[in-house]
Structure 1
Amino acid sequence: MTDLDTRVAPPHAPLPRRAVPALLGYAAVRALGLAVLGVWSAARGKSAYTLLTARWDSLWYTRVAELGYGYEVRLPNGDVHSNLAFFPLLPWLERLLHAVTPLSYAGAGLVVSLLASLAAAAGIFAVAERVYGTRTGICAVLLWAVLPVGIVQSMAYSESLFTALAAWSLYAVLTGRWVSAGVLAALAGLTRPVGAAVVAAVWTAGVISFVRERGAKHTPGALPLLYAPVWRRALGMLLAPLGAAAYVLWVGHRTGKGPLGYLDVQAGWRNGFDGGYAFGRFVADKFTSFPAALAGLGLIIGVALLIWLYVTGVRDRQPVELLVYTGVVLALALCASSYFGSKPRLLMPAFPVLLPLARALARLRPPRSALVTAGAAAAAAVYGAFWLNGSGPP
């Protein structure tokens, strides 16, 4: 589609076979994280299973799966936390799996997340391999696995499910499968509000394809561009926003507040988009005392690293659909006005930002690359166990 000169021709072996090393590595990292969590939790007299399935957002998803929508909590300050804030695809899958297996709703959520995390790893490999080659694809998966908050990938949360749908939708666009891209984007839009990032990527790629095709037709001597038929591209673009639009409109109808009803629901959680003002104040407040100032400095360095990696992706001429997707995910995560402790996990679906690091890791000799990955995996496992037994992801 876009930036065709940066695409790496896929090897002859089928994609599932090429993805096996990446998936084995991913499974090993996640198994290490769960093992360390189990030992750490047992030492503290806690249940690792409960930490993974029955705290924070996972409880809200389970209630939706079991009881449907309509549950809310009214706080003393007047805020209303409604479960309408949680998009329906994960609880639908929890309900389906509960209906056909002996699993509880919580257990079904955990199984869905574990399977979705493998699908996400495969999708990340497919995208990275398509753009930069097999070794970079493997390294991208391993880097996603060893993120400090990677334990969320194994929780009954929606991050893994969303990342899987987003990655495969992006891969479908990269390979010209427009209808599949639209369907997957619609499902991503039923999973999290950030599904807008996938829709933006599909629409941007589609518009560029039409513009380039039209330009080629009016350029004497230009070679014809190999795009899917117009109707397939148009259908994919039409399908992409339907999931998010359907849920947002349904919430508006249910609340009686019209198309903006979902924004009122989010306001009850003190969630909104303020361009990063609240997050900036949160970081600035860290510098009122010395110990907190170190955390503030760490946050500044982390945001600067994300921006640098994104700019590096632009300079490396990543396909425009990846840049649009990543840019929207970063903007929505960093510029949300509340729940600052959630930002690390909200950034997790922005996997293309890892591609410059994956390319660098792929250039190392295999022993050194393996050593770096093993060290990062061990650190992530320890941090994940510490974090989940402490404040954890709100």
Structure 2
Amino acid sequence: MSTLEAVSVQPGDARGPGGRPTGRRVAVLLAPAVLYLVVRELGLLVLGLMADRWNKDVTKALTSWDGQWFLGIAQGGYDDVPSWLGDAFGRRSTETPLAFFPGYPALVRWLDALPGVTPIGAGFTVSLVSGVVCAYGLNRLGRVVRGGSPRAGLVLVVLFSASPMAVVLSMTYSEATFCALAAWALVGVVERRWLLAGLCCAAAGLVRPTAAALILAVVAAAVVAAWRRDGWRAWVGAVVAPLGLAGYLAYVAVRTGQWDGWFAVQQRGWDSRFDGGAATWKFATMILGEPRSVLELATVWFLVGAIALVVLCARRRVEWPLVVYGVGVLVMDLGSNGLMNSKARLLLPAFTLLIPLALALGRRRTSTVVAVLVGVAVFGAWFGAYAITAWPYAI
């Protein structure tokens, strides 16, 4: 029996004499973690092959670019980051490190304090554990959404962990931690567990600015629920949800002496600001007219695909807070004039847009599901490896 078949067994049917868990029950419990880890291990195996081809060190590739900043902040805090780190223009000021949110490096620093743990090992461990936690959150979402099922939950886990830029889930980047918190915040929304939703959303606000999209979804859903039926818990969730992001932005404002300090640091150091999509449109039309690289051309089509998935979400009547979150992530990505090479990576947290695909595949025969997911996983493994080995620029 395959893992996808095993999950169709109901929990109550999977216990032996005396209520002890049977093998099927254990398989059901472990399936999200196993599938996530298998897909990510495939990605690392392909990365090893690509690294050999391009004479790159795997560990250096997995700790490159923003990963160096996060490790630097984890080791020295904002005031003692290694001096050789600079912004997109090679410059550095006392404010430059503030562009990076503190949640992920704080976890790395706490783990690094344990005996025998290195900073890089701590970074990888936080990303690994966060990814597994995210897998369980996505599995839960795939079960509880409208039309969901145990099989759809597992398919959603695989689609996410095999995404084209899912390689960052294995890097010293903050995406895995953010996605774990976002997934469970949205589980709280769908299940009307507002304290869970609010607390996870607040924590996500300390990890990535993408939390703005999550806050919009959680607060809007909580207010609607409070107005209709859910009472004080929904109001508490709505109040708590923005605290993490608001708190860090306020901290940077005090440190820089500017009310919009974080945005100013981003613009000065990375020329990143919200321009309504003008830069993205210019980039897309230029690349489609005259492709310059695999990564850039693929990035444009990933963005087009994400827009198509929004339409599918609407047609499939996916719960509106999940659509609001996914659209919010997409709008932040499309609307920023920041590094175009990063746009595929910045789509990764928009995992709710994958729900229609998971629901559709969840109803297909096991052989069809396995064939599709294996193909997706192989492509995602290759693309992620290409992005941090053959591609010479930041992602």
Task: Give the TM interval when normalised to the shorter protein.
Answer: 0.7 to 0.9
Quote the residue 1:171 is aligned against. Answer: 187
TM-superposition CA deviations, 1:87-119 (whole Å, max 9, x none): 001110111001014222222111100111111
Quote the residue 2:225 is aligned against. Answer: 209
Letter in 1 for 2:161: A
Deviation of the 1:245 alpha carbon: 0.7
Quote the residue 1:73 is aligned against. Answer: 86
Taking a change above 3 Å as real, the CA distance of residues 73 and 178 of structure 1, as seen in their structure-2 partners, is: same
Letter in 1 for 2:254: H
TM-superposition CA deviations, 1:199-221 (whole Å, max 9, x none): 111111112113333xxxxxxxx
Q: Which moved more, 1:345-354 or 1:146-155?
A: 146-155
Alignment of 1:1-394 (within 5 A): 12=11, 18-53=28-63, 55-70=64-79, 71=81, 73=86, 82-131=96-145, 132-213=148-229, 227=230, 230-257=231-258, 259-268=259-268, 269-286=270-287, 289=290, 291-292=291-292, 299-391=299-391, 393-394=394-395
Q: Which moved more, 1:355-364 or 1:123-132?
A: 355-364
Letter in 2 for 1:39: L
TM-superposition CA deviations, 1:178-201 (whole Å, max 9, x none): 112111101000000011112111
TM-superposition CA deviations, 1:317-344 (whole Å, max 9, x none): 2112101111111111111111111111
State the SS of the aligned residue for 1:73.
coil
Taking a change above 3 Å as real, the CA distance of residues 66 and 16 of structure 1, as seen in their structure-2 partners, is: farther
Instruction: Give ranges in structure 1 of 5+ residues lacking alignment.
Output: 1-9, 214-226
Deviation of the 1:298 alpha carbon: 5.1
Q: Which moved more, 1:84-93 or 1:193-202?
A: 193-202
Taking a change above 3 Å as real, the CA distance of residues 41 and 300 of structure 1, as seen in their structure-2 partners, is: closer
Taking a change above 3 Å as real, the CA distance of residues 346 and 330 of structure 1, as seen in their structure-2 partners, is: same
Contact persistence 1:19–1:122 (CA under 8 A): no
CA distance in 2, matches of 1:208, 1:355: 23
State the SS of the aligned residue for 2:156.
helix
State the SS of the aligned residue for 2:338.
coil
TM-superposition CA deviations, 1:38-57 (whole Å, max 9, x none): 2332344322112112x100
TM-superposition CA deviations, 1:126-180 (whole Å, max 9, x none): 1111111111111111111111212111111011100000000110122222112
Q: Which moved more, 1:384-393 or 1:309-318?
A: 384-393
Quote the residue 1:224 is aligned against. Answer: none
Deviation of the 1:19 alpha carbon: 4.8
Figure out how many residues of one structure are paired with residues of the other and give that number.
367
Deviation of the 1:61 alpha carbon: 0.5
Contact persistence 2:137–2:187 (CA under 8 A): yes
CA distance in 2, matches of 1:74, 1:49: 22
Deviation of the 1:293 alpha carbon: 9.6
Percent identity over paired residues: 36
Contact persistence 2:299–2:343 (CA under 8 A): no
Quote the residue 2:3 is aligned against. Answer: none
Q: Which moved more, 1:177-186 or 1:301-310?
A: 301-310
CA distance in 1, matches of 2:306, 2:298: 12
Taking a change above 3 Å as real, the CA distance of residues 231 and 43 of structure 1, as seen in their structure-2 partners, is: same
Q: Which moved more, 1:378-387 or 1:104-113?
A: 378-387
State the SS of the aligned residue for 1:190.
coil
CA distance in 2, matches of 1:16, 1:250: 45
Contact persistence 1:19–1:125 (CA under 8 A): no
Instruction: Give ranges in structure 2 of 5+ residues lacking alignment.
Output: 1-8, 15-24
State the SS of the aligned residue for 1:199.
helix
CA distance in 2, matches of 1:50, 1:33: 16
